[in-house]
Amino acid sequence: MNHRTLRSLFLLAPLALVACSKGEPTQEPKQKDTSQEQQPEWQHPTVDANGDSQPGPDDLFGSPRPPMGRSVRRMPLDTLQAAMTKVAGNDVYGNPIEWKVNGKNGFSDAAFGKALGRPDFQASTQENAVSSALYLKFVGDAARDICFQMAKNDQKRDQVDTRTLFPKAPVDGTATDAQKTENAQYLILRFLGLRVETDHPMVEALLTVQATGEANAVAAGAELTPAAEGWRGACVTLFESPLFHND
């Protein structure tokens, strides 16, 4: 085969490819599959911090609750310490009422400050804002100690308007239902910053706690009067309320 024959074959090769391609069917472009239904938009899960689905509380005339998809955060420890001391007020000698543990402030690093989550900027630099079981335990201890001091100092005050725990209702057994209701409203405002009416469910619940504590005070041999012991129980209830701690 000479070079002229090879040259002819090279010239005829493209024509042969074109002829062969004319017999093949043309492939149509693929179209987007629209048979599947459009997925709904993602929404925040309606769960609480523990992962349980439940409706929100009734309107308590406070700030709006955060979205349910966001976990509930407690207030910082320094804020909690200042808030409890502010609510407790002073004793009869003018000193602030504080949670005391072996003569030290229970929220300080010398007591349970680090265990409650205060950062030491060595092992930790940020406070954990989750209400753990340990946090709730120490808060309960602080509430019982502070509320007992409040009630004990109030019993020593002769002027009713200087009392911090029961200025609206006497604790000598002569308080009327109206006076107890007014004192419950006062405590809800002092502890939670909420102004509620006399028929509000929170008032009824707090009066139930007070009555239960008053009824059991004699049997327990409390150092406080029965009525004062009842208001001490109401004080602990308000200090332990999530409305007091949530940030």
What's the pLDDT tens digit per position in 103-154? Answer: 888 888 888 888 777 877 777 777 777 777 888 888 899 999 999 999 999 9
The parent domain of residue 119 ranges over 77-245
- Note the pLDDT tens digit of each residue in 81-106: 889 999 999 999 999 999 988 888 88
Identify whether 3 is part of a domain: no
- Note the pLDDT tens digit of each residue in 44-78: 456 666 666 655 555 555 566 655 555 567 888 88
| Burial label, 71 (beta-carbon count in 10 A; 0-12, 13-18, 19+) | middle
Contact in structure between 231 and 165 (CB atoms under 8 Å) = yes
Q: What is the pTM of this model?
A: 0.67
> Which tokens hold the place of 58?
């009734």
Identify whether 7 is part of a domain: no
Identify whether 53 is part of a domain: no
Question: Mean pLDDT over all residues of the chain?
Answer: 79
What is the domain count for the chain?
1
